[in-house]
């Protein structure tokens, strides 16, 4: 095993990061440990998939991995991008300091980071499985999909299915194995085929979002969510997200989009602060905010 520490550019809010990783875990593919502030999963490298355990600290993350030393530079880059360790949050705090809604949240959680996904195809499929269901239900569907179509990996973990395997699966077999509707199963396979045809979730966010919206079954919420969580666009936003809009005082989608304009160019951080506040047991006192 290789063990090392990755320092963050500034502080890290440990509880929200650990909670997000644990809440969104895929059974069989990931092992969350809230009490130990750690999370274990497989990450892909040029030599295959290797187990990685990240333990979240206030100043960064401890990493333990089965990957050989030759793969550590690539893994380091993946982990830093996944957990948003390189962002200097000073500019975010300054931008939101005078905002009646965001200011108190940022002052309460100054080290909150925009956590992404380390594996783009996995993220796209999990986003589809998460459409219009709870986070827990999406994890259940993801675990079933991995059990049926994934492959055994190291540390007793399962490698998430490849685009080729999901694209080739008999549609009714896939639907039954996962327990989703025919429409949702079809969207999973549409996404898999798009990846087989060359779709990648990196590069220009606007053109990638357009490519996502061209896939049957992918709507604005899914495209926006992936733009935030995978493409790492720090000005992306998900105005159609129900949890977000509850945290904003229940505006319409159009009103949420309009309200978010004042948070540019850091709307993704506004999103994470509002998501975190909405799902946290510890609420930050807020003044009345008029729309």
Give residue 284's pLDDT: 78
Assign 286 a pLDDT band (cuts: 50, 70, 90): low
Enumerate the active-site residues. 241
Mean pLDDT for the chain overall: 96
Give residue 196's pLDDT: 98
Give yes or no for a contact between 159 and 28, defined as CB atoms under 8 angstroms apart: no
Mean per-residue pLDDT, 94-122: 97
- Domain positions in the chain: 2-77, 120-229
Give residue 280's pLDDT: 85
**Residue 113, Cβ neighbours under 10 Å: how many?**
24
Give 6's strand partners: 61
The sheet that has 48-57: what strands, in order across it? Answer: 2-7, 60-65, 48-57, 38-45, 30-33
Query: Tens digit of pLDDT for each residue in 143-166?
Result: 999 999 999 999 999 999 999 999
Q: What is the CATH T-level fold of the domain 2-77, as seen in this structure?
A: TATA-Binding Protein (3.30.310)
Residue found under tokens 């990685």: 52
- pLDDT exceeds 80 at position 290: no
Give residue 287's pLDDT: 57
- pLDDT exceeds 70 at position 111: yes
CA distance 149 to 283: 41
Closest CA to 112 of 264, 286, 270, 288: 270
Residue found under tokens 């980071």: 113
Query: Tens digit of pLDDT for each residue in 214-250?
Result: 999 999 999 999 999 999 999 999 999 999 999 999 9
- pLDDT exceeds 80 at position 204: yes
Architecture of domain 120-229: Orthogonal Bundle (1.10)
- pLDDT exceeds 70 at position 192: yes
Share of the chain above pLDDT 70, in %: 97
Give residue 281's pLDDT: 67
- pLDDT exceeds 90 at position 260: yes
Q: Fold match between 2-77 and 120-229? A: no
Q: In degrees rounded to 5, what are phi and psi of residue 55? A: -115, 115
Mean per-residue pLDDT, 107-119: 97
CA distance 108 to 253: 27
CA distance 205 to 226: 10
């Amino acid at each position: 095993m290789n063990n090392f520490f990755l320092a963050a550019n500034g502080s890290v809010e440990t509880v929200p990061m650990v909670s997000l990783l644990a809440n969104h875990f895929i059974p069989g593919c990931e092992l969350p440990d809230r009490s130990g502030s750690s999370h274990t999963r497989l990450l892909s490298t040029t030599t295959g998939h290797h187990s990685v355990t990240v333990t979240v600290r206030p100043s960064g993350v401890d990493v333990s991995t089965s990957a050989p030393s030759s793969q550590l530079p690539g893994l380091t880059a993946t982990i830093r991008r996944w957990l948003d360790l390189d962002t200097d949050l000073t500019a975010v705090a300054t931008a939101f300091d005078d905002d009646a809604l965001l200011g108190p949240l940022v002052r309460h959680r100054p080290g909150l980071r925009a956590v992404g996904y380390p594996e783009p195809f996995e993220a796209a499929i999990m986003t589809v499985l998460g459409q219009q269901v709870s986070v827990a239900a999406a994890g259940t569907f993801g675990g079933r999909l991995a059990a049926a179509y994934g492959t055994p990996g190291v540390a007793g973990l399962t490698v998430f299915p490849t685009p080729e395997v999901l694209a080739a699966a008999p549609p009714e077999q896939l639907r039954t194995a996962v327990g989703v509707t025919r429409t949702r199963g079809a969207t999973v396979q549409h996404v898999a085929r798009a990846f087989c045809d060359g779709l990648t979730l990196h590069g220009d966010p606007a053109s990638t979002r357009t490519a996502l919206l061209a896939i049957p079954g992918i709507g604005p919420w899914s495209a926006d969510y992936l733009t935030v969580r995978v493409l790492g666009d720090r000005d992306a936003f998900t105005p159609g997200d129900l949890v977000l809009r509850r945290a904003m005082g229940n505006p319409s989608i159009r009103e949420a989009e309009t309200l978010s304009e004042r948070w540019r160019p850091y709307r993704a951080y506004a999103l994470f602060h509002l998501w975190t506040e909405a799902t946290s047991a510890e609420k930050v006192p807020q003044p009345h905010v008029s729309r």
